[in-house]
A = this chain, B = another copy of it.
Amino acid sequence: MRIEIICTGDEVLTGKTVNTNFSHMSQKLEDVGLAVRWGTTVGDDREALIEALRLAGARADAVIVNGGLGPTVDDLSQEMAARAADVDLVLDESWLGRMEDFFRRRGRVMPPNNRKQAMLPSTAERLDNPVGTACGFALDIGKARFFFTPGVPREMRRMLEEQVIPRLLARGGLQPVIRLKRFHSYGLGESHVDALLTGIEALAPEGGVKLGFRAHYPQLETKLAVRGADAADIERKLAPVVAELRRRLGNFIMAEDDETLEGVVLDELRRRQGSLAVVETFTSGQIAARLAPLLGAEAIFRRGTVSRDLAEIAAALGLPELGPLSPSVAEAVAEAARHAADATHGLAVLIELDEGADRIEFGGTIHVGIATQGGAVSRRARMLGGRDWVRLGAAELALDGLRRHLKGLPIAERIDFEKT
């Protein structure tokens, strides 16, 4: 099945908005084993839009169109869909009612120009939008089935998941039940993990599991896409693959599915009624900024101290002058931070940066100290790759070190980003 995506809108065409809707749609299709063959971007322009619809309708089996379903005059998708399919626009009374309700529930009267959103091509099959006033719809143009979706990301995502993908799977004759199992890791590069997981897909009885990756430094997402007849079938296929994947990636798996590293750390602390004090130098508050704003963090994240200067950190924590950076200094700072804030855990991330201008070989030596009432441990790592690369890597190394410590895992397994 040949699938295309058409993105519409001046904001996207002129680059004012980066087109994350396209990458989201394409990834979601990829995750269920559907490949996008072609992408087209056009503006809010009748001539260009109808040309795009006709070209795609002549080439593809299925086309997702994104954007242009809003209430304003530059929203042209319904009009051009009707014209390309050579049918009339007709008022969908039931959608109009839905929209009037939508406004009424918010204590407002529907502006008259929203009525336009209920005008659909006469042959259209409605695609429900439970979170907005833009009505999605499907219809045939040329030899392709077209799916029109709203440009608002939240509305598009839900409609894609609930309305469009099931229809595409059915058209492709693919098993309708799908699941995407995700693992988040830090420290192993994509090609390394790919090599570690060689042959893992074959462990699924009768196949049906597809391995994929998405790298966004410093994290790597490892994905297993599974298709089956029903939930039990999917579980049966997935279980042996997941078990083996967990065995091979081991301690490097920081979080799964919608979990985040910082969320896992916070949950571990919450579980033991713990609390945390953090000291940062060149990470500059980034670690605090990932933990402290989370829901419920006010009771757990007790205090963060940021300074680029070790003497200043010593002063803030009431420590005597600190010697040059070393494992014992990192441990002493973590313990002092823990003590000062009366927390169960102290985390210190102290970094010695290379001298000179930013460059690709620019590096830093990172010391992570973790203290509890029972004592302190530390881990040293040297990273190269420029200021931002070192800073992002150090924040991840520290949070992952704390996760490992909380989980009773070794905190100092060698990672691919480490040099010397």
Chain A residues with CB under 8 Å of chain B are 7, 12-20, 22-27, 30, 35-43, 45, 48, 52, 55, 214, 278, 280, 282-289, 291-293, 295, 297-298, 301-309, 312, 315-316, 340-341, 358, 387, 391
Contacts and interface: CB of A to CB of B under 8 A. Distances in A.
A36 B18 contact: no
A318 to B, nearest CB: 10
A-B pairs with lowest CB-CB distance, top 10: A285-B285, A285-B288, A39-B41, A15-B26, A304-B306, A15-B23, A284-B292, A298-B308, A15-B27, A285-B289
A70 to B, nearest CB: 16
Contacts of A41: 22, 38-41
Contacts of A304: 284-285, 304-307
Given A38-B48, A284-B291, A285-B285, 14 more contacts: A14-B30, A15-B24, A15-B30, A15-B36, A16-B214, A18-B18, A18-B20, A39-B40, A283-B293, A292-B307, A298-B309, A301-B308, A303-B316, A316-B340
Given A285-B285, A306-B292, A40 B43 contact: no
Nearest to A282: B293
Nearest to A37: B48
B37 A43 contact: yes
A285 B40 CA distance: 41
Contact of A35 (B14, B37, B55, B292): B14
A22 B23 contact: no
Chain A interface helix/strand/loop/mixed: mixed
Given A38-B40, A302-B309, A306-B292, A18 B19 contact: yes
Question: Looking at A13, A15, A25, which has the most chain B CB atoms within 10 Å of its CB?
Answer: A15
Contacts of A40: 38-41
A37 B47 CA distance: 11
Contacts of A289: 283-286, 289
B14 A26 contact: yes
Contacts of A43: 37
Contacts of A308: 292, 297-298, 301
A293 B15 contact: no
Contacts of A309: 298, 302
Contacts of A280: 285
Nearest to A292: B284
Contact of A15 (B22, B55, B278, B295): B22
A287 B285 CA distance: 8
Contacts of A36: 13-15
A306 B285 contact: yes
B19 A23 contact: yes
A230 B301 CA distance: 57
A356 to B, nearest CB: 11
A416 B407 CA distance: 46
A303 B14 CA distance: 42
A183 to B, nearest CB: 16
B30 A23 contact: no
Question: Looking at A214, A288, A309, which has the most chain B CB atoms within 10 Å of its CB?
Answer: A288
